[in-house]
Amino acid sequence: MLGNFSYHNPTKLYFGDESLNYLKDELKNYGPVVLLNYGSGSVKKNGIYDEVVAILKEAGKTIVENPGVMSNPTLEKLHEGVKIAREHHVDMILSLGGGSVCDYSKGVAASVFYDGDYWDRFWLQGKHPDAGQRILPIGCILTMAGTGSEMNGGSVITDAEHKFKVGHVFDARLMPKFSILNPKYTMTVPDEQMKAGIYDIMNHIFEQYFSDFDDNTSDYLSEGLMRSLIVSSRAAVKNPQDYEARSNIMWTATWALNTLLKCGKTQDWMVHMIGHSVGAWTHAPHGFCLAAVSMAYYKRAMKPGLAKFVRFAKNVWNVCPDGKTDEQIAEAGLEALKNWMLEIGLPLTISELGATEEMIPGITQGTICYPAGYMDLKPADVTEILKESM
Ligand code: NZQ
Ligand code: ZN
C-alpha cells in the first residue's frame, strides 16, 4: 500500500541535442556574477566549456572560475569553493560536468551563507539549512549520465583525510533550478565511466525496488526503467555513439533518482552505504564500487525478500518459472543480473578495484548501517559481504 507523501520537484529540464540554446534565457533570471564549477579538463577537451563561456559572455555575466572539481569531490575542495564564492559575492552557480560537479555545487550553494561548521551540520548531522538561510541558485549542464544529481538534492562529499564518504539529501531548495541534458555531451565520457554510470542508474532503481512486498505503482515504473536500461546499455556498450541508446540512458538516469520512485514506499540504500565506503578507500568510480558488492548483498537479501526477487526475475529478466521453485526462479534472476554485468564489463569484486583484506575493517567502519530493505545489517554482516566480494 502506498504511504502518505507530498511530491514536488522544482527542477526545470531541457533535454536534447539543442538544449544548450535555453541557457541564455535561463541566465536572465539570475544576478551578474556566476561561479562556474567544472572538473579536471574534459569540458575543455570536448569544447563544451567554450560553448558555455561564449553564452555567459554574451549574457554579460562575470565569470568566476572554479576548475578542478574532482570525481568524488573532497571536503578540502568544498572549503575552497565556499571561500571563492564568498570572496567574489557570486549570485548563482553553474555546474558544468557530471554528478560530482553537481553534488559539489549543491554543497557550495548550501554552505556559502552558513556561519557555522557546514560540514558538521549538513553532512555529519544530516540537517537542512534553516528556513531563513540564503542559498545560492544552481544551474546544471550535465555531461555524464548516472547519479540523477541533475534533478535531486543529493550531495556526496568525501573527507579524504578520514576516508569517510557521506551524502546528504538536501531539500528542494538545493535542487538545481534548471538542468540542461544533452545526450551528445555524454558521448565523450570514457568507456569505464559510462559503464559505472549505467550500473549506478540500475542500483538506484534497486535501492528503491528491493523493499517490502506491497503492490505499488513505483515498482511497475522501476521494472520499466530497468528493462529500458538493459536494452540501451547493451546498445551503448556495442556502439557508444548510438544517440538513441545514450539519450535513453540519460533520461533513465534522471528518473531513477529524481524523487519520484521513492514516493510512498520504503527504501534500502545499503549497497550505496557499503559502496561509498569502498569508494573512500579505493577511489574507484562510484558505480563500480556498487557493482563490486552487489552480488554478495543481493544473494543475502534474496532469502528474506524472496517474493520480490521472484517478481524481479520474471518481470525484468523474463525468467520462465515453469518447473522451478521460488528459490530457483529468484536465483535465475540474480544469475541473469550477473551475466548482464559481465556482458557490459562491470567489476564483480572489490579486489578488482584495489581493495585488500587489510582494508576490510576500515571499509566496515566507514559504512553507515541501518535496518533497510529486507535486512538489518550490522557491521559484522558488512564485513562478511566485503569478504565475499573479494
Ligand atoms: O573531471 P572531468 O574532467 O569532468 O572528468 C569526469 C570524471 O573524470 C569524466 N567526465 C564527465 N563527463 C565527461 C567526462 N569525460 C569526458 N566527457 C564527458 N562528457 O567522468 C569522470 C567521472 O565524473 P563524475 O562526475 O565523478 O561521475 P558521476 O556522474 O558518476 O558522479 C559521481 C559522484 O556522484 C555521487 C557519487 O558518490 C560520486 O561522488 N553520487 C551522487 C548522487 C546524488 N546526487 O544523488 C547519488 C549517487 O548515488 C552518488 O552517490
Ligand atoms: Zn549511486
Distance of alpha carbon 301 from alpha carbon 295, whole angstroms: 10
Q: Looking at residues 62-78, what average pLDDT do you find?
A: 98
Query: Structural domain of residue 64, as residue ranges?
Result: 12-186
Choosing from 186, 211, 232, the residue where a domain stops is: 186
Mutate to test the pocket of ligand 1, among 147, 259, 271 (most ligand atoms within 8 A of CB): 147
Residues 122, 174 within the same domain: yes
Question: How remote is the CA of residue 88 from the centroid of ligand 2, in Å?
Answer: 32
**Residue in the structure block whose three cell numbers are 529540464:** 13
Distance of alpha carbon 340 from alpha carbon 336, whole angstroms: 6
Question: How remote is the CA of residue 165 from the centroid of ligand 1, in Å?
Answer: 15
**How does residue 312 score in pLDDT terms, banded at 50, 70 and 90?**
very high
Residues 348, 224 within the same domain: yes
Residues with CB under 5 A from ligand 2 (ion): 200
**pLDDT at residue 2, rounded to an integer:** 79
**How does residue 101 score in pLDDT terms, banded at 50, 70 and 90?**
very high
**How does residue 3 score in pLDDT terms, banded at 50, 70 and 90?**
confident
Choosing from 134, 168, 186, the residue where a domain stops is: 186
Residues 180, 198 within the same domain: no
Is residue 2, in this structure, part of any structural domain at all?
A: no
- The angle formed by the CA atoms of residues 121, 11 and 285, to the nearest 5 degrees, is 65
pLDDT in tens, 179-191: 999 999 999 999 9
Residues 176, 212 within the same domain: no
Closest of 367, 349, 358 to residue 289, by C-alpha: 349
What is the overall mean pLDDT for the chain?
97
**pLDDT at residue 253, rounded to an integer:** 98
Residues 233, 380 within the same domain: yes
pLDDT in tens, 276-309: 999 999 999 999 999 999 999 999 999 999 999 9
CATH number at residue 299: 1.20.1090.10
Residues 120, 163 within the same domain: yes
> Is the pLDDT assigned to residue 1 strictly greater than 80?
no
Closest of 68, 63, 69 to residue 92, by C-alpha: 63
> Is the pLDDT assigned to residue 21 strictly greater than 90?
yes
> Is the pLDDT assigned to residue 246 strictly greater than 90?
yes
How many structural domains are present in the chain?
A: 2
Nearest CA, atom 46, ligand 1: 147
> Is the pLDDT assigned to residue 177 strictly greater than 90?
yes
**pLDDT at residue 144, rounded to an integer:** 98
**pLDDT at residue 224, rounded to an integer:** 98
pLDDT in tens, 197-231: 999 999 999 999 999 999 999 999 999 999 999 99
Distances (CA, A) of 310 to 77, 113, 222, 336: 45, 49, 15, 12
Chain centroid to CA 171: 16
Question: How remote is the CA of residue 37 from the centroid of ligand 1, in Å?
Answer: 13
Nearest CA, atom 42, ligand 1: 147
